[in-house]
Each structure stands twice: as structure tokens, then as C-alpha cells.
């Protein structure tokens, strides 16, 4: 790994999800490193501090070079723990996506505070990279659909049980169904249990995306709607969709970086 010797500022972005905490280190617009930790509701700020310390050491980035930290969280109890970790180990007070943070979007949810921060962050990145009108699909713990029109209005969207949790429920609740490897089966008509489950999950989720997108396109009256996807399972599912044009696994980190830049207070 290369160690950057220049004095350029580095920012740390942190996406706290229900399954994973994803961290990215950016120098300017360049993503130097990214890491995925499993979300632990028990871990203390010191335990997260040890992880961060090791990640910095492993990647050869000097923690003193961190100019600032931008966090989004959809797990309320963890954000305070990570915030404390940043203060103690990085000597930085992080910015947190929420009220008071500029996103550049006009949030048209009935109650904007209710929108998951990750959904806002995805929408910000997608608008910047692809331009509206668009829909972002994120295959995380939940699969989320977020719509933005050509004027930058965040319109809302849809929330579906995610691929991982629905597959887990099937295995937990049906005695004869095993835990399976998620890979594309050769045919949609499965002739054994594993192939039948793989067909149902992969083609089912792909069809769900195409079906919801079709309705969104109609409701937004946007023939030119762009469909962008992110999240761990996006490549697998989206290869089977007709509507998804772009898969960008790092969309949420990009969004956090953009929001940081829009809210950065330059110290004299």
C-alpha cells in the first residue's frame, strides 16, 4: 500500500447501517481506502477506537491528517458512540447528517426528520453523479428506493425487506429450507430446493426492482428517469434487471464526501 507523504487533507466518512458500518478515507475526491465493519450495538467507543486505530495503521494513513469526519446513521444508539470515538481518538467533532446540515436537496417527505440519513446521502450522490430525474435503489438491510426529480426535490420512495433479512426469515421459519449461497441459477424453474430458492430470490428481487421502477417512472411522469443502484448485492440482482443502468457500490461514501464539502467550515 502506498503511503501519501503530502500534506493534503484527509476526511473520514462513516455510514452506520443496521448490518454494517462502512468507513471511507478521502483525499480530495479520491477514495484512498474503505472498510466494512459489522455493526455492533454492544461495542463501546473504546472498542471502535481500537478498530479505527488499527485500520489507520494498516493503511498507512496518519490520524493527525484527518481534517474532519462526516457521519450518517440509521441506528440511533450507535451514532453517539462513534461520535465519542471521533472526539477521543481523532480529536475531531464529527458532522452528522441531520437537521442543520445542507444537502442541496429539497426534502419533500411529510416529516423530513423521518427519512433515513442513508437515503438522503444516496440521493445527494446520485444527483451529483447522474442528475435528476432519478431513482436510487440501495440493497442494504432494507432495499430502499429514493426518487429525486429534475429540480432536486427529494420526493420519497419505497422501503422493502432486504434480500439478506428476507432470505434469513425463509430459512428460519421453514424447517426444510436450508441456508443457501446466493448465486444465479441457470434456470428460473428450479428442480431442487437450492435452485428454487436462488431463482425465487434473485429473479424475484430483480422483478421487484423493475416493477417498482416502472410505477415510479409513471408516477413521476419521467420517461428519462435514471435508475442507479448501490449496496452489496446490487451487482448480482441488477444484472437481472431491465431498468437499472448504473451500479455504483460506493455511492453512499461519495454522498457523505459531497455533504462534508458542502458543510465544511474553513478555519482561518
Ligand X SMILES: Nc1ncnc2c1ncn2[C@@H]1O[C@H](COP(=O)(O)OP(=O)(O)OP(=O)(O)O)[C@@H](O)[C@H]1O
* Range in contact with K ion (rule: CB under 5 A) among 11-19, 34-42, 48-56, 195-203: 11-19
8 A C-beta contact, residue 35 and residue 58: no
The response to whether 21 counts as a known ligand-binding position is: yes
Cβ neighbours for 209, distance < 8 A, ≥ 6 positions apart: 137, 143, 227, 229, 237, 238, 241, 243, 244
Would the annotation count 109 as a binding residue?
Answer: yes
Residue ranges in the chain assigned as alpha helix (H): 45-59, 76-85, 117-130, 163-173, 193-220, 234-238, 251-263
92: Cβ contacts below 8 Å, ≥ 6 apart: 66, 67, 68, 69, 86
String marking each residue 135-164 x if it binds ligand X according to CB under 6 A? ----xxx--------------------xxx
State yes or no: is 210 an active-site residue: no
> In which residue are the cell numbers 444537502 written?
103
Q: Which does 182 bind (CB under 5 to 8 A by kind): ligand X, ligand PAU, K ion, none?
A: ligand X
> Which of the choices ligand PAU, K ion, ligand X, none does residue 222 contact, using the CB cut-off of 5 to 8 A by kind?
none
Q: Which of residues 163-192 bind K ion (CB under 5 A)?
A: none
Residue 32, phi then psi, degrees to nearest 5: -80, -45
Identified binder of K ion from the candidate list 49, 94, 116, 140, rule CB under 5 A: 140
Question: Count of residues for the chain?
Answer: 268
Binding segment for ligand PAU among 80-88, 91-99, 113-121, 215-223 (CB under 6 A)?
Answer: 113-121
Q: Does 162 bind K ion (CB under 5 A)?
A: no
Q: Does 140 bind ligand PAU (CB under 6 A)?
A: yes
Q: CB of 210: closest distance to ligand PAU in angstroms?
A: 20
Rg of the chain over CA atoms, in angstroms?
20
Catalytic residue from among 46, 62, 64, 118: 118
Q: Exposure pattern of 209-246 as b/e (b: 16+ CB <10 Å)?
A: beebbeebbeebebeebbbbbbbbbbebbbebbebbeb
CB-based contact 11:66 (threshold 8 Å): yes
**Closest to K ion by CB, 17 or 157:** 17
Q: Smallest distance from the beta carbon of 148 to ligand PAU, in angstroms?
A: 14
Q: Which one, 198 or 230, has the nearer CB to ligand PAU?
A: 230
Q: Binding site for K(+): which residues?
A: 138
Q: Which residues bind ligand PAU (CB under 6 A)?
A: 17-18, 74, 114-116, 118-119, 140-142, 144, 159
Q: Kindly list the catalytic residues.
A: 118
Amino acid at each position: 500500500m502506498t503511503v501519501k507523504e503530502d500534506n493534503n487533507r484527509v476526511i473520514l466518512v462513516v455510514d452506520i447501517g443496521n448490518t454494517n458500518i462502512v468507513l471511507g478515507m478521502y483525499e480530495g475526491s479520491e477514495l484512498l481506502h474503505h472498510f466494512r465493519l459489522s455493526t455492533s450495538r454492544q461495542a463501546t467507543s473504546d472498542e471502535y477506537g481500537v478498530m479505527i486505530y488499527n485500520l489507520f495503521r494498516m493503511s498507512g494513513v496518519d490520524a493527525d491528517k484527518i481534517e474532519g469526519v462526516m457521519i450518517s446513521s440509521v441506528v440511533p444508539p450507535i451514532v453517539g458512540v462513534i461520535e465519542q470515538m471521533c472526539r477521543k481518538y481523532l480529536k475531531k467533532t464529527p458532522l452528522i447528517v441531520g437537521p442543520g446540515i445542507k444537502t442541496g436537496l429539497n426534502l419533500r417527505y411529510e416529516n423530513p426528520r423521518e427519512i433515513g440519513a442513508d437515503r438522503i446521502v444516496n440521493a445527494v450522490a446520485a444527483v451529483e453523479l447522474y442528475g435528476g430525474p432519478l431513482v436510487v435503489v440501495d440493497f442494504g438491510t432494507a432495499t430502499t428506493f429514493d426518487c429525486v426529480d429534475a429540480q432536486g426535490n427529494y420526493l420519497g420512495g419505497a422501503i422493502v425487506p432486504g434480500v439478506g433479512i428476507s432470505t434469513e426469515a425463509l430459512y428460519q421459519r421453514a424447517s426444510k429450507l436450508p441456508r443457501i449461497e446466493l448465486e444465479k441459477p441457470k434456470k428460473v424453474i428450479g428442480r431442487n430446493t437450492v435452485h428454487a430458492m436462488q431463482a425465487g430470490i434473485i429473479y424475484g428481487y430483480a422483478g421487484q426492482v423493475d416493477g417498482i421502477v416502472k410505477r415510479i417512472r409513471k408516477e413521476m411522469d419521467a420517461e428519462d428517469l435514471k435508475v442507479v443502484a448501490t449496496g452489496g448485492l446490487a451487482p448480482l440482482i441488477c444484472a437481472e434487471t431491465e431498468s437499472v443502468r448504473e451500479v455504483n457500490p460506493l455511492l453512499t461514501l461519495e454522498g457523505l464526501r459531497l455533504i462534508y464539502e458542502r458543510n465544511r467550515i474553513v478555519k482561518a
